[in-house]
A and B are shown apart, each in its own frame.
Chain A
């Protein structure tokens, strides 16, 4: 019978972790910070869309920590130059399309984008605005939930939690390419959807796209 646990080394620390657990959650539970924006515990399969949680596994190279399960004897480094380079570039690309209206942002105190900007010492890239700023209307129709698609970084957390946890399925990705966005059915205002106002999506939203009133 296979053992329930495996021993891994993360940043020089020897850690005993449940078999099959993803590197990201093992590291986080042991106080080792790995930047991540789209991952939520319980997602199966993991979304792996934000491309922030890069780590280097010896003998395996660069992998995303949210998709890679720990294996016996694995040696992981979370703070190498190539890891940081990839993470900074991924974050810069997210910022390139994000309105930095932090002063007026309802999530400014718990914005995960800002958190990882500070962690990775990334500044707002001034030269990375190849597309005109998109302007979608802000939806304030719902009694408890607000939605600003302009701030959305397309992490997909709200889509997953609405579909798999709450079961309301209010959100999904719509359109494609530069036009892709999170939307309700036919872009209807939230008050005309099945939203029951549980605010789970606002809780997991890493930025100021979804927030409670």
Chain B
């Protein structure tokens, strides 16, 4: 962890009673600050509550909300809700995995792209849907995956961080 990350973890732990029932809340607070749960942070938390690191890891892996690697610059979210799934969302996800060479929940080695699958995003008429940093790409196909990635790459090279929240 970097110095800032260590300080952030310490700050979160400072305000918390040493009771195991606060474990999930603490993990959430750390992820809120750092964007992910670094290994050393999990160790700190285990030490703080006096439980084994494996137990903390067990709790953290149980919930989808926790991640153990930082997000990429472009966080690609593929919808796998009922509508998107029946319109071929799985094919789109496969295409992203193939093109980026990573699996769901992973980040490319250059930290540019991360991939995630979620349930319904809410715009089922546009199925299958992909969301990149809050921007929606509707009616996706495996072919359009290449287009999207080319677009993101161009934006990256332009240095444009025109992300919409």
- List residues of chain A with CB under 8 Å of any chain B CB: 162-163, 168-176, 183-186, 193-194
Contact = CB atoms under 8 A, between A and B. Distances in A.
A174 B57 contact: yes
A171 B54 contact: yes
A194 to B, nearest CB: 8
B62 A175 contact: yes
B39 interface: yes
B125 to A, nearest CB: 30
Interface string B57-81: 1100110000010000000000000
B28 to A, nearest CB: 17
A185 B53 contact: yes
B55 A163 contact: yes
B61 A176 contact: yes
A169 B53 CA distance: 8
Contacts of B55: 163, 169, 172
B123 to A, nearest CB: 27
Contacts of B52: 162-163, 168-170, 172, 185, 194
Among A170, A173, A185, A194, the one with the most B-chain Cβ atoms within 10 Å of its Cβ is A185
A176 B57 CA distance: 12
B154 interface: no
A185 B62 contact: no
Given A185-B42, A186-B39, A175 B54 contact: no
A72 B13 CA distance: 50
